[in-house]
Structure 1
Amino acid sequence: MTPTVENYALGHWLPGSGPQQELLDASTGDLIATANTEGMDFEAILDYGRRVGNSALRRMTFHERGRMIKALAFHLDAKKEQFYELSYRSGATRADSWIDIEGGIGNLFANASLRRKFPDKPFYVEGEPVGLSKGGTFMAQHLLVPKEGVAVHINAYNFPIWGMLEKIAVNLLAGMPAVVKPATPTAYLTEAVVREIIASGILPAGALQLVIGSGQGILDHVTYQDVVTFTGSAATGRKLRAHPRILAEAVPFNMEADSLNAAVLGPDAVPGTAEFDLFIKEVRKEMTAKCGQKCTAIRRAIVPAHLVEDVQIALGKALAQTTIGHPQAEGVRMGALAGRDQAARLREQIQLLAKNTPIVYGDLDHVEILGKERGAHAQKGAFISPIVLLNERPFEHLDSHEIEAFGPVVTLMPYHDLGEAVQLANLGKGSLVCSLATNDPRAAQDFVLGAATHHGRILILNQEMAKESTGHGSPLPQLIHGGPGRAGGGQEMGGMRGVEHFMQRVALQGSPSMITAITEVYQTGAKIIEHDKHPFQKYFEELEIGETYVTHKHTVTEADISNFANVSGDNFYAHVDATSLEGTLFTGRVAHGYYILSKAAGMFVDPRKGPVLLNYGLDECRFTKPVYPGTTIGVQLTVKEKIGQEKRDADDIAKGIVRWLVTVTDETRETVAVATILTMVKKKDQA
């Protein structure tokens, strides 16, 4: 009996109730499964996500969410071989599947590690405080909290695993649940991963739901607290973005659309240079990886006019080594498209392009394949030859900049100077990524400054970085994945930026004491807490935000300045030569700023052994007023923020990082130096 791909919603696995859609093996045409495309109660699904999943995730801290994502990554990594076996049926080779499977799991790991950039709290204090009054009693601070809705992810067919995992990693870290709607042709892969996620029991109930099929009507029930993301064609994305409910509720909509990404061969990258070879290698790789079905794949190869023939010959030789066939057949380097519907659509797009830009490599109607013994079939499967077209007049024949053939297809086009190369790259009206092969820094700068407005990411490809480069087509979780214009204007991922997309930013206004109480970060001017016991003798849990220690006083002498100059070797004229101060800001020998900071440390440190394990570092430091001999300084040490640390293993010491505000003042009570220092402090509870 043919299995049915099911939905996971409302805490249960549920079949749809609509017409059956057949999901076929991309290489053999054999039936894999069927999917029901209708019959889901989307209003109930979204409500369940908000009530159950959102409330559970919002209660967790960033660190708890991050550890949850890390555990999920380890779980899926242990199960990845079963995903590979299924992925072959989508036409993907082992290398193609690696991008989808381990790229997706790697994204979970990367976002799990990102937790360390956030506090161990359910909210995030963003940026610096803003003073709003002369007296310092009125201020503001930006705060981010998880939205109270659901992230609805509408994904494309080309990356059924990575497309889901790279999105949910971000919304889960932010504290929002997700409803994932994968494209139906490869939804069997998404379902397999979701089954493992649910079976693991790692995520709280309602944190992840899966909807297979058309998803028609799901957007009818979104609210302004939800977030919708879309990956796919620009045309479909524009329709969804204009949905009446999206507009009426002002629902955040992140669109990452397939775009006409370009690779540019720099003027200096002539045959025989490493950059020329790298350019050819990168274009071939982007054409054949995932059979060219990547939103970041190179669609336009822009090369110096006098090198068009050289590039055409070199690229043809590289593509001739690309064996095509069943992904599991020995020697196959390129598999099939995801299905026959995709292959039919691709041929239509190529035929449109070929009206004015002839095919100079490849055969649209014939392809030799390997793996017939495994059932691979040239007609029943979705195989196609790599295709190279030539647009000799790219400023006249604009189809190359408007029609995307979503497969192993690239169009060569010439330019006469770097300005023209920029113009051609920008004619794509916005793309996810562009690359430039050059070893000329000035050419690289000129190109970037001209093209940056039209691209989400620009890769400068040369010999120096080639061995470690992840390549033109690899989005990384630390960087934004999106682009302007045709690419949709979205910014998926991007480290902390991506997480913030699923949070609400609010500007808090109030007194320093009130903002301190709300944010759990001490604000200058807030009420302080003083105790008899030195704070360095307190465990991490015992310290309070705002707890302050006021030191004894010290009068700075010329001997202090001379001694510090001798010890440090810092003999800058302002510290040691009073005769050289004419025309400067100083009226006499001035104390070293680092002496003031060092002396402050000596004044506030308790020398006795206690819970403080070590000095962890310095976040910021400013010297705000010159200190001359005879100035009397005092120090105020205040607990600014506490950041719990995870134990690396069972034998590790339980500890946390304490950020201290160090304020050094003179006898007039004016601030002469301010810094934030960090210490590692032992926890009383060693569990």
Structure 2
Amino acid sequence: MLEVESFAAGQWIAPGAGARDIASAITGEVIARAGNEALDVQAMLGYARDVGGPALRKMTFHDRARMLKAVAMHLMTHKQTLYDLSYDTGATLSDHKIDVDGGIGTMMVFASKGRREMPDGHVYLDGVPEQLGRDGQFLGRHICTPLQGVAVHINAFNFPVWGMLEKLAPTLLAGVPAIVKPATATCYVTEKCVRLMLDSGQLPAGAVQLVSGGLGDMLDHLDLQDAIAFTGSAHTANQLRSNPHLLQRSVRFASEQDSLNASVLGPDATPDTPEFDLFVKEVQREMTAKAGQKCTAIRRIMVPEPVLEPVIEAITARLAKTTIGDPRLEQTRMGALVSASQKRDVLEKAALIGAEAERVFGDPEDFNVDGADAQKGAFVPPMLFHCTAPDLAERVHDTEAFGPVSTIMAYRDLPHAVSLLNKGKGSLVASVITNDGEVAREITMGSAAFHGRLYFNNRASMKEATGHGSPLPHMVHGGPGRAGGGEELGGIRGVMHYMQRTAVQGSPDILSAISQQWVPGADEITDRAHPFTRTFTDLDLGETFYSLRREITLDDIETFAHFTGDTFYAHMDDEAARANPFFPGRVAHGYLLLSFAAGLFVQPDPGPVLANTGLDNLRFMTPVAAGDSIRVRLTVKHKTPRNDEYGEVRWHVTLTNQNDETAAEYELLTMNAL
């Protein structure tokens, strides 16, 4: 018997009053108990806000990214422990890998993105400065800073590890502490994962707490600096969302709910195409992975009328080969539902669907289970229904049996397919298997507004595609309407959910000080040695080098044209160039100007500058003709450490002509020794 504890205000607390028994999904026997109604929720909130929050906010984004990577690496070395515990949830080894490996991988992605896409500082910059005054001395910019409260994560039973880590990674990267409340049915797996994270020694005190059991009245004590992220049923989400206290205090509430996800077989995918076989495999996999207990599983299957029967035959043939049994057995391909109550719910929902559709595969009263008792465990077979009148059906489009249950239906043409897709009134994902770009575009234009993700797959992408039901940390996970209207993951977008976007306005110096990034118009430092002779550490924001001037001659332009092969008429034909509204006559190549600019500002001797790694945001503004001269201003705009040997310096480069008009502007990137 496992005593599943909570981690509250720095202490592990055993189950107490109100504890619930937890049964094995395989045998039905009680294996654990969890819950304690005596948890001091206000102490937990205070510990997160007063201890965890300040500790996380003291760290930079890069510090927190390194922390995430270290925690993920620690979990990776102990994932077998999590696998072993997870079998009693009814999941197979391949299911564990989706949950455990997927969760760890998500943390790694956020760690990487935090280092690559966020500054080594405390303020995230959202967009470029906006000039609000005529002379450039009054600017505006959007910045993002961490909420100074706590994130409460309420997770579903189906992914006790991934469900926690996919919320936790962006939250901690943002600098916000979290209180994790997993579903009780599988909380023993989550508890072990939290113990492993704490054992890593990488998390500051108060960064993560765990409630195994109910939250009590915790939500009644949240305020404007706090956030809730919920995954579960639409019914529970609506109950939580309508909490008067949350509404009154405008507490952020993000919801990822159940949805009637669909998959469409394109009209071009006939039985003799690779797309047909791919579609059948995707449907079978999504019906049976995690025993269909995935928020992204395919619930509705839409196929062209001419291939309805071949598709039904192909899907049922694959489902018939799916071995159901004890998930610890090597031959098992689908395990049990998570609990007896979940089994009852799935069968009740399947009966509602059965009132509008005929079951063409899977009899819950007659199926084989290897190595376990079908009656004692929470086993059900995969069930495929066929709806002959999808336009008139209601339950097929609004009832989710959260298990291995799906309904197939035929469509007449693409507008009809789009109409059926949208009858789900909002989903996390819809997939389309087609090799026809026009089919993909028509479905996108007709239904993208109803889905959080559109997944297209065909013969070109099938070897690399991750599958209909796989939310990736790089892409948004969520959906409109019935799916909850929330957005999780999506790279740095997911981090923004736990930060406040603020518009700051002021002079260039003020904005530079706030953002820790030099803004044009701010003070310059010009009394130091050439910046290319100074190390990454020694360089200060605003350090500026002004070059000597160089005159551009006609011989320069012609030599460059013949040497590079770029003999575009604007550089070689004066009459043709004058006929062009952009040029006064023959002008210098833009890349010639960049090359001369480098010659004007580069310090050639060996020194701290290790490499030029590129340039961003290049713009050519004023043409430069023969006889004009150019000068370069080179300013340290931003610095980002990369490792213990070097860091990236972002330089603001401006080329001006003899009239001080800007000829070109760009950002130069170099790697400089520390």
TM-score bracket, normalised by the shorter chain, equals over 0.9
On the 8 A contact 1:358/1:389 being kept in 2, the answer is yes
Deviation (angstroms), 1:378? 0.9
Report the AA paired with residue 88 of structure 1: Y
- Which position in structure 2 is the counterpart of 1:497? 493
Q: Confirm whether residue 641 of structure 1 aligns to residue 638 of structure 2.
A: yes
Report the AA paired with residue 10 of structure 1: A
CA distance in 2, matches of 1:235, 1:646: 48
CA distance in 2, matches of 1:399, 1:583: 68
* Residue number among 463, 470, 473 corresponding to 1:474 in the alignment: 470
- Which position in structure 2 is the counterpart of 1:363? 363
CA distance in 1, matches of 2:629, 2:579: 26
Aligned-pair identity in percent equals 50
Report the secondary structure of 2:479's partner residue.
coil
Report the secondary structure of 1:256's partner residue.
strand
* Residue number among 597, 621, 624 corresponding to 2:621 in the alignment: 624
Matches within 5 A, 1:409-558: 409-558=405-554
Report the AA paired with residue 250 of structure 1: S
CA distance in 2, matches of 1:646, 1:173: 19
- Which position in structure 2 is the counterpart of 1:597? 594
CA distance in 1, matches of 2:2, 2:530: 68
Larger mean Cα displacement after TM superposition, 306-315 or 405-414: 306-315
CA distance in 1, matches of 2:274, 2:607: 59
- Which position in structure 1 is the counterpart of 2:308? 308
On the 8 A contact 1:16/1:39 being kept in 2, the answer is no
Report the secondary structure of 2:511's partner residue.
helix
CA distance in 1, matches of 2:359, 2:36: 38
Report the AA paired with residue 635 of structure 1: V
Larger mean Cα displacement after TM superposition, 447-456 or 518-527: 518-527
On the 8 A contact 1:143/1:507 being kept in 2, the answer is yes
Q: Confirm whether residue 667 of structure 1 aligns to residue 658 of structure 2.
A: yes
- Which position in structure 2 is the counterpart of 1:138? 138
On the 8 A contact 2:578/2:586 being kept in 1, the answer is no
Deviation (angstroms), 1:582? 4.7
Larger mean Cα displacement after TM superposition, 478-487 or 559-568: 559-568
CA distance in 1, matches of 2:125, 2:329: 53
Give CA-to-partner distance per residue, 1:294-349, whole Å, 9 cap, x none. Answer: 00000000111222211111111010000100001231100000010100111110
Give CA-to-partner distance per residue, 1:215-262, whole Å, 9 cap, x none. Answer: 231211111111110001111111111111221111111101111000
- Which position in structure 1 is the counterpart of 2:295? 295
Larger mean Cα displacement after TM superposition, 311-320 or 360-369: 360-369
- Which position in structure 2 is the counterpart of 1:681? 672
Report the AA paired with residue 68 of structure 2: I
Matches within 5 A, 1:244-259: 244-259=244-259
- Which position in structure 2 is the counterpart of 1:650? none
Larger mean Cα displacement after TM superposition, 430-439 or 520-529: 520-529
- Which position in structure 2 is the counterpart of 1:63? 62
Report the secondary structure of 2:537's partner residue.
helix
Deviation (angstroms), 1:608? 1.8
Deviation (angstroms), 1:667? 1.5
Report the secondary structure of 2:486's partner residue.
coil
CA distance in 1, matches of 2:528, 2:202: 45
CA distance in 2, matches of 1:36, 1:46: 18
Report the AA paired with residue 669 of structure 1: D
- Which position in structure 1 is the counterpart of 2:194? 194
Q: Confirm whether residue 405 of structure 1 aligns to residue 401 of structure 2.
A: yes
CA distance in 2, matches of 1:539, 1:235: 59
Deviation (angstroms), 1:37? 4.4
Deviation (angstroms), 1:16? 3.9
Report the AA paired with residue 417 of structure 1: D
On the 8 A contact 1:401/1:427 being kept in 2, the answer is yes
On the 8 A contact 1:5/1:212 being kept in 2, the answer is yes
On the 8 A contact 2:19/2:213 being kept in 1, the answer is no
Report the AA paired with residue 188 of structure 1: Y
CA distance in 1, matches of 2:465, 2:355: 37
Deviation (angstroms), 1:679? 1.0
Deviation (angstroms), 1:184? 0.3
CA distance in 1, matches of 2:540, 2:60: 19
- Which position in structure 2 is the counterpart of 1:651? none
On the 8 A contact 1:367/1:383 being kept in 2, the answer is no
Report the secondary structure of 2:268's partner residue.
coil
On the 8 A contact 1:293/1:337 being kept in 2, the answer is yes
CA distance in 2, matches of 1:502, 1:408: 34
Report the AA paired with residue 321 of structure 1: K
CA distance in 2, matches of 1:547, 1:86: 57
Report the AA paired with residue 663 of structure 2: V
CA distance in 2, matches of 1:167, 1:437: 30
Q: Confirm whether residue 569 of structure 1 aligns to residue 570 of structure 2.
A: no
Deviation (angstroms), 1:370? 0.3
TM-score, length-scaled by structure 1: 0.97
Report the secondary structure of 1:141's partner residue.
strand
On the 8 A contact 1:21/1:37 being kept in 2, the answer is no
* Residue number among 641, 645, 649 corresponding to 1:658 in the alignment: 649
Report the secondary structure of 2:500's partner residue.
strand
Report the secondary structure of 1:346's partner residue.
helix
CA distance in 2, matches of 1:671, 1:165: 49
Report the AA paired with residue 299 of structure 2: R
Give CA-to-partner distance per residue, 1:176-214, whole Å, 9 cap, x none. Answer: 111000000011100111111112211000000000112
- Which position in structure 2 is the counterpart of 1:276? 276
On the 8 A contact 1:366/1:384 being kept in 2, the answer is no
Report the AA paired with residue 619 of structure 1: D
Matches within 5 A, 1:35-54: 35-54=34-53
On the 8 A contact 2:356/2:396 being kept in 1, the answer is no
Report the secondary structure of 2:186's partner residue.
helix
Q: Which ranges of structure 1 fall in alignment gaps of 5 or more residues? A: 648-653
Deviation (angstroms), 1:532? 3.9
CA distance in 1, matches of 2:68, 2:494: 15
Give CA-to-partner distance per residue, 1:91-114, whole Å, 9 cap, x none. Answer: 000001110110111111111111
Report the AA paired with residue 47 of structure 2: Y
Report the AA paired with residue 426 of structure 2: G
On the 8 A contact 2:552/2:625 being kept in 1, the answer is yes
CA distance in 1, matches of 2:261, 2:49: 37
CA distance in 2, matches of 1:274, 1:608: 59
Report the secondary structure of 2:379's partner residue.
coil
Deviation (angstroms), 1:567? 2.1
The number of aligned residues is: 672
Give CA-to-partner distance per residue, 1:411-433, whole Å, 9 cap, x none. Answer: 01111000000010110000000
Report the secondary structure of 1:491's partner residue.
strand
CA distance in 2, matches of 1:679, 1:196: 40
Report the AA paired with residue 456 of structure 2: I
